[in-house]
Protein backbone atom coordinates (compact mmCIF):
# COMPACT_ATOMS: atom_id res chain seq x y z
CA UNK A 1 0.00 0.00 0.00
CA UNK A 2 1.31 3.41 -0.96
CA UNK A 3 0.41 6.52 1.02
CA UNK A 4 0.79 9.92 -0.65
CA UNK A 5 0.55 13.05 1.47
CA UNK A 6 0.18 16.21 -0.59
CA UNK A 7 0.97 19.80 0.40
CA UNK A 8 1.14 18.98 4.11
CA UNK A 9 4.89 19.45 4.49
CA UNK A 10 4.86 22.86 2.84
CA UNK A 11 2.00 24.28 4.89
CA UNK A 12 2.09 22.32 8.13
CA UNK A 13 5.63 20.93 8.41
CA UNK A 14 7.36 17.58 8.09
CA UNK A 15 6.27 16.35 11.52
CA UNK A 16 2.60 16.81 10.60
CA UNK A 17 3.23 15.01 7.31
CA UNK A 18 4.82 12.07 9.12
CA UNK A 19 1.94 11.99 11.61
CA UNK A 20 -0.63 11.91 8.80
CA UNK A 21 1.21 9.02 7.12
CA UNK A 22 1.40 7.13 10.41
CA UNK A 23 -2.26 7.61 11.36
CA UNK A 24 -3.65 6.71 7.96
CA UNK A 25 -1.37 3.69 7.67
CA UNK A 26 -2.40 2.55 11.17
CA UNK A 27 -6.07 2.78 10.24
CA UNK A 28 -5.62 0.90 6.97
CA UNK A 29 -2.89 -1.65 7.82
CA UNK A 30 -5.32 -4.54 8.20
CA UNK A 31 -6.70 -3.76 4.74
CA UNK A 32 -3.29 -3.78 3.00
CA UNK A 33 -4.34 -6.64 0.72
CA UNK A 34 -7.29 -4.69 -0.68
CA UNK A 35 -6.06 -1.07 -0.51
CA UNK A 36 -3.58 -0.14 -3.22
CA UNK A 37 -3.15 3.55 -2.50
CA UNK A 38 -4.14 6.25 -0.01
CA UNK A 39 -3.96 9.99 -0.66
CA UNK A 40 -4.07 12.51 2.18
CA UNK A 41 -4.51 16.29 1.87
CA UNK A 42 -4.80 18.96 4.57
CA UNK A 43 -6.35 22.34 3.91
CA UNK A 44 -6.43 25.28 6.34
CA UNK A 45 -9.91 26.77 6.62
CA UNK A 46 -10.70 30.41 7.17
CA UNK A 47 -13.89 29.88 9.17
CA UNK A 48 -13.66 29.96 12.94
CA UNK A 49 -14.27 26.71 14.78
CA UNK A 50 -13.07 24.51 11.90
CA UNK A 51 -9.44 25.41 11.37
CA UNK A 52 -8.31 22.47 9.19
CA UNK A 53 -9.88 19.95 6.82
CA UNK A 54 -8.29 16.57 6.11
CA UNK A 55 -9.33 14.63 3.01
CA UNK A 56 -8.36 10.96 2.64
CA UNK A 57 -9.01 9.01 -0.54
CA UNK A 58 -8.21 5.33 -0.90
CA UNK A 59 -8.05 3.35 -4.10
CA UNK A 60 -8.76 -0.33 -3.71
CA UNK A 61 -7.15 -3.09 -5.76
CA UNK A 62 -10.38 -3.41 -7.78
CA UNK A 63 -10.18 0.30 -8.71
CA UNK A 64 -13.01 1.47 -6.46
CA UNK A 65 -12.41 4.67 -4.49
CA UNK A 66 -13.50 5.64 -1.01
CA UNK A 67 -13.23 9.22 0.21
CA UNK A 68 -13.72 10.78 3.62
CA UNK A 69 -13.31 14.30 4.90
CA UNK A 70 -12.96 15.58 8.46
CA UNK A 71 -12.59 18.98 10.03
CA UNK A 72 -10.73 19.75 13.21
CA UNK A 73 -9.58 22.55 15.46
CA UNK A 74 -5.99 21.90 14.35
CA UNK A 75 -4.17 19.63 11.89
CA UNK A 76 -3.75 16.68 14.26
CA UNK A 77 -7.41 16.76 15.23
CA UNK A 78 -8.49 16.70 11.57
CA UNK A 79 -6.00 13.90 10.77
CA UNK A 80 -7.21 11.77 13.68
CA UNK A 81 -10.85 12.16 12.68
CA UNK A 82 -10.18 11.41 9.02
CA UNK A 83 -8.02 8.37 9.86
CA UNK A 84 -10.81 6.97 12.03
CA UNK A 85 -13.41 7.59 9.33
CA UNK A 86 -11.37 6.02 6.52
CA UNK A 87 -10.71 2.94 8.65
CA UNK A 88 -14.44 2.61 9.34
CA UNK A 89 -15.29 3.14 5.65
CA UNK A 90 -12.74 0.54 4.55
CA UNK A 91 -14.17 -1.94 7.03
CA UNK A 92 -17.70 -1.40 5.72
CA UNK A 93 -16.65 -1.75 2.07
CA UNK A 94 -14.30 -4.74 2.17
CA UNK A 95 -14.44 -8.43 2.90
CA UNK A 96 -11.78 -8.19 5.66
CA UNK A 97 -13.21 -9.68 8.84
CA UNK A 98 -13.59 -7.42 11.86
CA UNK A 99 -11.75 -10.00 13.98
CA UNK A 100 -8.49 -9.36 12.07
CA UNK A 101 -7.83 -6.25 14.15
Whether residue 88 has pLDDT greater than 50: yes
Average pLDDT over every residue of 49-67: 90
Could you tell me the CA-to-CA distances from 78 to 17, 21, 28, 49 in Å, in that order?
Answer: 13, 13, 17, 12
Buried b (16+ CB within 10 A) or exposed e, 36-47: eebbbbbeeeee
What structural domains does the chain harbor? Answer: 2-100 (3.30.160.100)
Q: What pLDDT band is residue 6 in, cutting at 50, 70 and 90?
A: confident
Rounded Cα gap, residues 99 and 11, in angstroms: 38
Whether residue 99 has pLDDT greater than 50: no
Per-residue pLDDT at 93: 84
Average model confidence (pLDDT) for the chain? 87
Whether residue 2 has pLDDT greater than 80: yes
Per-residue pLDDT at 47: 67
Amino acid sequence: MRIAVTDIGRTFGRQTRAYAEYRVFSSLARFSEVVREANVALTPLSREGDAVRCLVTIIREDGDRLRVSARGRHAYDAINRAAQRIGDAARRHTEVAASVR
